[in-house]
Chains A and B, each alone.
Chain A
Amino acid sequence: MEELLDILKSLHPDVDFEHCDSLIDDKILDSIDIVSLVAEINDAFDVAVPAEEIIPENFNSAQALWEMIQRLDEA
């Protein structure tokens, strides 16, 4: 989770990713951020995020992202 937070912080250092749960709904992360994030997740966790998983529910918070990474890793 710490590593994920570091990746998120590198995208937007000014955002409180630990507590924000509306990253997509509040348009904090845009589509360019999202694909950058997916590429970083692929590098850091060796988890491929398929396009169908790129939905607001999975990207609205660091926690949701972390749960998605774990789910995809186990699948």
Chain B
Amino acid sequence: MSFASAQFLAFFAVLFVLYYLIPRRHQWKLLLVGSVFFYFFAGWYCLVYIGVTAVTTWLAARKIGALQARQDAWLRERREELNKEARKARKAADKKVRWRWALGSMLLNFGILAVVKYTDFVLGSVNGVLSAAGAGTQLPLANLVLPMGISFYTFQSMGYLIDVYWGKYPPERSLGRFALFVTFFPQLIQGPISRYNDLSQTLYAEHRWDSRQIAMGGMRALWGLGKKLIIADRLAIPLRELTAAPEEYAGLYVLAVMFLYAVQLYADFTGGIDITIGVAQMLGVKVTENFERPFFSKNIAEYWRRWHITMGTWFRDYVFYPLSVSKGVLKLHQKARARLGEAGKRVSVYLCTMILWFVTGLWHGASWNFIVWGLLNGVVILVSQECEPLYARFHGRFPGLKGTFGYRLFEVGRTFVLMSAIRVLDVYRDVPLTFRQVGTVFTSFRPSVLWDGSFLELGLSAGDWLIAALGAAALVVCSLLGRREPVRQRLVRRPSLAWGGCAALVVCMVIFGVYGIGFDATQFIYNQF
């Protein structure tokens, strides 16, 4: 059941009415029933996968919590008789036991994710090696079906488990409440990857009817749907054409692919997240923001702090930091420093950064294009880091330049172009093809396609291009207007303007939305991750 479907609208309408009619103490239970129902639409077998993750994570976290409580009680009782070393020894021994429970659950759940998501990637890579070696045999692919949102709910659950292991908060006692945290339907399709201590603040609370919050949520969901139907799905048409026969569309077309895909992905992903956050807000639940005007970033590191924020912080907190402070990496740091001096200080940090981006690429998809995409991101971030002294020297020579509007615009433009260029790996889904295509930008540019009507043969009329351009301009304007205060917040203070705006958006969606033109118009791009 996609967000952009009549099914979802009907499902949500019924849930919404019931939610505010039933006794408030049962609201979270209704959300759980609704979430299970929503997930059931993706296939009954999906429920088995998510059920296993919810139950095993809950059990492991409960066990870890119980072990921690037992250790605390034991230490409290013997406070007087134990010296520092004895306390330390007991803590270390208990930590090992807790780690075994955490590790067991992580191996099981990441194992499930790895098997369903990466089996064919591994088999395909082995087949590639076999054929390169001239072997006549090929391994059959498993063709396993990927349960909806498995990357998102697995990461969310494992984040919770690690937090409990680290003692950040006690485990959730109720299996039902924890199951709701894992299955909460608005964020099942494409995140955000919520943290338990954030989401639980409002997920289980009793919510009274709040017209302002409901209006704010409704407007946000509507805005997200507009982004999806008017801009993202419209731009999907020429992109499908341009990538279906890449050899016919080289040179300037490749630049078009880069920039059109940047806008399409932004409209699609932020549109989906707007629906998620808006729908949750209508139910009184606060979901973490996942974007902070990423296309206004000055460099790629900043871009990644503002794009898909919850994924970035997940990898930072649960992969990058633990890896960087592990004994092996710290030893490497000492050795590199002893051997290489000051420059050696960066070896372990850079190694961990590249591992982080390798894993981030792998998370995005089981194919080499995503791995190369991830590694390229890491390389650009590290090169920027290395170039910092150069930048500092440059700005030392031209001290007035840094704060100017023109230089800021240059930085934002540079980041946008760089990110769009890296992201093109995601479009062609084939590493050699992507590099060949990008190469044609320099070898067969052919700017005449801009004015000889070629772009009108990509499935969009002149009017469609105009609507897409106006839509993209509206995104930029709203982003700028919302810097201090979200536009919705201003609209909600003037109900007549808010109603007028919503009605206009609905009319635009009905007239200009893209429906049923031979592709799955309702599939969100990040759904596949």
Using a CB–CB cutoff of 8 Å, the interface residues on chain A facing chain B are 27, 30-32, 34-36, 38-40, 42-43, 48-52, 54, 75
Contact = CB atoms under 8 A, between A and B. Distances in A.
Contact of B349 (A27, A35, A43, A52): A35
Residue among A27, A38, A42, A51 with most chain B CB within 10 A = A51
A31 B320 contact: yes
Nearest to A30: B301
Given A30-B301, A43-B333, A48 B325 contact: yes
A20 B317 CA distance: 24
Given A39-B345, A51-B321, A32 B385 contact: yes
Given A50-B325, A51-B166, A35 B334 contact: no
Given A40-B345, A43-B337, A54-B325, A35 B320 contact: yes
Contacts of B325: 35, 38-39, 42, 48-51, 54
A36 B349 contact: yes
In terms of DSSP, what is the predominant structure of the interface of chain B?
helix
B345 A35 contact: no
A21 B353 CA distance: 26
A39 to B, nearest CB: 4
B168 A43 contact: no
B174 to A, nearest CB: 25
B330 interface: yes
Nearest to B331: A42
Contact of A39 (B317, B320, B333): B333
B166 A42 contact: no
A36 B324 CA distance: 9
B352 interface: yes
A40 B349 CA distance: 11
A52 B166 CA distance: 6
30 contacts: A31-B316, A31-B321, A32-B301, A34-B321, A35-B320, A35-B321, A35-B324, A35-B348, A35-B349, A35-B352, A36-B345, A36-B346, A36-B349, A38-B324, A38-B325, A39-B325, A39-B348, A39-B349, A42-B325, A43-B333, A43-B334, A48-B325, A48-B327, A48-B330, A50-B325, A51-B321, A52-B167, A52-B168, A54-B317, A54-B321
Contacts of A36: 345-346, 349
B317 A51 contact: yes
A66 B88 CA distance: 21
A75 B353 CA distance: 30
B500 interface: no
A52 B324 CA distance: 12
Interface size class of chain B, counting residues whose CB lies under 8 Å from the partner chain: 20 to 34
Contacts of A30: 301
Contacts of B349: 32, 35-36, 39
Nearest to A14: B392
A52 B329 CA distance: 17
Nearest to A75: B88
Interface string B294-331: 00000001000100000000001100111011010110
A37 B158 CA distance: 27
B92 to A, nearest CB: 11
A35 B324 CA distance: 6
Contacts of A34: 321
Contacts of A54: 317, 321, 325
B316 to A, nearest CB: 5
A33 B349 CA distance: 9
A27 B324 CA distance: 19
Contacts of B320: 31, 35
Nearest to B326: A51
Residue among A32, A36, A38, A42 with most chain B CB within 10 A = A32
Given A36-B349, A54-B325, 20 more contacts: A31-B316, A32-B353, A36-B345, A36-B346, A38-B324, A38-B325, A39-B324, A39-B325, A39-B329, A40-B345, A42-B330, A43-B337, A49-B325, A51-B321, A51-B322, A52-B166, A52-B167, A54-B317, A54-B321, A75-B88
